[in-house]
Every structure is written in structure tokens, then in C-alpha cells.
Amino acid sequence: MTAYRCEFAWLPEGRVAAEVLVDVEGGRIVGLHERDQGAREDGSVSDAGVEQLRGLVLPGAANVHSHAFHRALRGRTQQGPGTFWSWRDHMYALAARLDPDTYLALARSCFAEMVLAGFTAVGEFHYLHHQPGGSAYVDPNEMGHVLIEAARQAGLRITLLDTCYLAGGFGVAPEGVQRRFDDGDAALWAARVEDLHRGYTGADDVTIGAAVHSVRAVPAAEIPVVAAWATARETPVHVHLSEQPAENEACLAAHGCSPTALLAGCGALDARTTAVHATHLDAADIGALAGALAGVCLCPTTERDLGDGIGPAHRLLAAGVPVSVGSDSHAIVDAFEETRAIELDLRLQTGERGHLVVEQLLRALTVDGHARLGVPNAGALQVGARADLVAVDLRSVRTAGGADVDHAAAAVVFGAAAADVTDVVVDGRRVVRDRVHRLGDVGALLTEAIAAVWP
């Protein structure tokens, strides 16, 4: 058994406690003792063998929506005029360049950057399935295996959301690099993913989930096949939803309804469904999501980078729709910036403050995020939960003044940056110590991996 003494810890009831001892065994929290509760039941109080975690210790964060290869776009797509649709052309150019070796290096370093930022799990929205031109690799799931291996080397859990992508738009066949994404039809997609799913049955660090890329990329007649596969295996199903007004308009023209209503009509809206972005929803859409017990993943740093808009987090939470976060295109990888942006963007939009409290924001980052990834026993510092511990410096230039039980949580949520994460434990394994990832210099790894795809 390993014990960690936390200077401060965020506990499930939404409070910070000082001097909390966390006992870890077999990758799970087996004991949790507050200073005011005295010693462990066995009477031991010695610090011998106890690892110290300074600052505020949070449960691990969940990065619910990621496209790992987009990390190579940072700094190359932020300048100049354009829209989401012109940005997509740059993304397609990158997708055309990747092979299993370059993808492994890029994803591994991207995932390591996530761990340094406090993420202990990722939902990888994976649609880069095939070779350029669309032919399958010898192993049709080669690229999926690459992403799982990258996550394992980086030290975080992965929910691989294998994505069905069959069309270039409503009634439009895939063209160009989109052929790399296309399995032909949903039945062929399901057969390929079933092989992948069987290969990781019983793996504690891997969940194989499903995704409908979007209602524009999967014909309505094919969506029920994806939903049925996920339902039969009780695994998550994610979907890009109402990210752009043009998507809503095109869906209305093609089907006479919103994307949310189309999903519901196809049987693809239930408690395992996570709608990614959900930026442009009306009241009926929000009601449908709430009625289905579905969740929403907001990606504020990507949504602002692409000019998508501001997601209605306050209206979603008021309706009972759980909200989580993802770094999506990795314009920034920073769990705290991603989370506080939910509240701060709403302040800009409405002219009012205080839409979400700190507890709601931390819940979105932790327990609700892990639940959307199909891992309900993570995201909380409590006995029986996965031993994911993230220590955040409370004495940096960004967080100084917050080293007490009354202010630590707000200091971190509204002031901390990824650089303030000092130590990360994932499933009981130390992956980051004193700001150093076990892989070494992650900046150098990123530099090398990105150079390999932009020669």
C-alpha cells in the first residue's frame, strides 16, 4: 500500500480539507483520513513511507473530447481570416500526411502534454481509420491500436471512440482525405469495431466506445446501426452536434428537423450519449437531451479558436444535462483554462457573473467527465474510486494567496494554469513528479513529432 499526504484536498461533498491522508492499493483508494479525524484505525500516524503532495490535490481530470493529431495544427491555423470550414481544409491536409509511426509519436506526446496538465483520462474521437485513398491497413484497426499504445506510453486511460464517418455532407459522398475515414457503411464499421472491442475486453485502462461523427457525415438510415452496437455493449456513444449554425440549417433542409431531433428519431439519444459542442441549441433540443439523460461536452478553447460560439452551459445544467469538457483541437491543453472558460465566456455573452459555481465547474472537469467516458468509478477522492491524484501548486505567481481551505478551490479554478500541476498519479501509478513526466522532455517529443508531419 502507498499513502499520500495531501496538504489540501478537494473532497466529494464539494469542500477543501487540509492534511488529508489517502491510502492507495491496487490502483484504488482504500482509505481516506482527514486530520480532524485523527489517525488511521490501526493507530498509525508515522510519516515513514508516506509521499507528500503539496498544494491542492484534485481527483484526475477527464478530457472528454480529443483529436490527438490536431495538436500539430497549433500555431499554423490561428492567424488570418476564415471560418470553421476554412480551418477544416488545413486539418484535412494534416490528416492526409499521417501514417502509423508518425501518428504514434504525435499522439503519445499530445497525451503526455495532457497528463502534465492534470488529465488522467481521454476520450479520443477517432476517425482516421484507413490508408490514404481509403484502403484498409493489413489490420483494419491499426490506427486504433496506435492510439491505445500512445495513451499507455503517456500514462493515461483512454476511451477510444471509434467514429463512423460515411459522407462528406448531407447526400454527398466522401472525397479526398475523407476516404481515409469511410468504412463504406455502418454494418462494415460495426464489424471492424467489434474486432477492436473484443481485443480489449477486460482491459482496465481501455474502453472501446462509439461515435457518430455528425448527422451530416452519417446518413440517417445508418445512425441506428451505430446506436444499436453501442447499446448492445453498454458503451458510450458520442457525436459532434450543432457545432455550427450551417449544420443546423443543412439538417433542417435535408430532414426538416434539428440535429438533436434527428438523433432522437434514429434512436441515438440516451443516457450513454454525449453531444460534443452543442453550441447552437434551442429550447426543444435542450429538453430532448435532458429527457434522454444525455450529456454535453463543451470545448471552449477550441470553440473560441474556431469562432463556433458559446455553449449554453447554464441552460443545460438548469435542465439537468450534465456538462463535461474537452480540449478537442488542442489549441490549448489546460484543464483549468478549459473549465473556467465555461463560466467566463457566459459572463461575456450575458453581461452577468456567477452562472456556475466552483463546485459545478470542478464536477464537470472530474466526476461527470469520467462518467461520459464510461468510467463511473473515477473523478472523486473517495474510498473505492480510481486512485487518480493531481497536485496543483498554490504558491505560484498565478495561485499565490490561495493556500487555505476557503480559497484554494477558487484560486485553482480561476487562476491556475497547466504549468501549476506538479504531480500526477493515475490508477495509483506516479506519472508526473515535480512537473516532470516519466517520458522526460515532452516539449522535445512534441517538437520532433510535429516536425515529422510538417517536413
- What pLDDT is stored for residue 43 in this prediction? 45
- Give yes or no: 204 in active site: no
Domain 61-372, second-level architecture: Alpha-Beta Barrel (3.20)
Which residue blocks in 273-407 are alpha helix, DSSP H? 283-291, 300-305, 313-318, 335-350, 358-365, 367-372
Residue 84 binned pLDDT confidence (cut-offs 50, 70, 90)? confident
Mean pLDDT of 397-401: 97
Q: pLDDT by residue (tens digit) across 286-344? A: 999 999 999 999 999 999 999 999 999 999 999 999 999 999 999 999 999 999 999 99
- What pLDDT is stored for residue 45 in this prediction? 47
- What pLDDT is stored for residue 349 in this prediction? 96
Catalytic residue of the set 129, 277, 355, 437: 277
- Give yes or no: 277 in active site: yes
- Name which of 48-62, 77-91, 119-133, 267-281 the model is least confident about: 77-91
Mean pLDDT of 413-420: 98
- What pLDDT is stored for residue 50 in this prediction? 94
3-state secondary structure of 231: helix
Residue 47 binned pLDDT confidence (cut-offs 50, 70, 90)? low
- What pLDDT is stored for residue 21 in this prediction? 97
End-to-end Cα separation, the chain, in angstroms: 48
In contact, 334 and 117? CB cutoff 8 Å: yes
Mean pLDDT of 202-228: 98
Fold of 2-59+385-437: Urease, subunit C; domain 1 (2.30.40)
Residue 82 binned pLDDT confidence (cut-offs 50, 70, 90)? confident
- E strands in 61-183: 61-66, 119-126, 157-164
Q: pLDDT by residue (tens digit) across 159-172? A: 999 999 999 999 99
In contact, 325 and 300? CB cutoff 8 Å: yes
pTM: 0.96
Q: Where are the domains of the chain?
A: 2-59+385-437, 61-372
Catalytic residue of the set 183, 305, 328, 393: 328
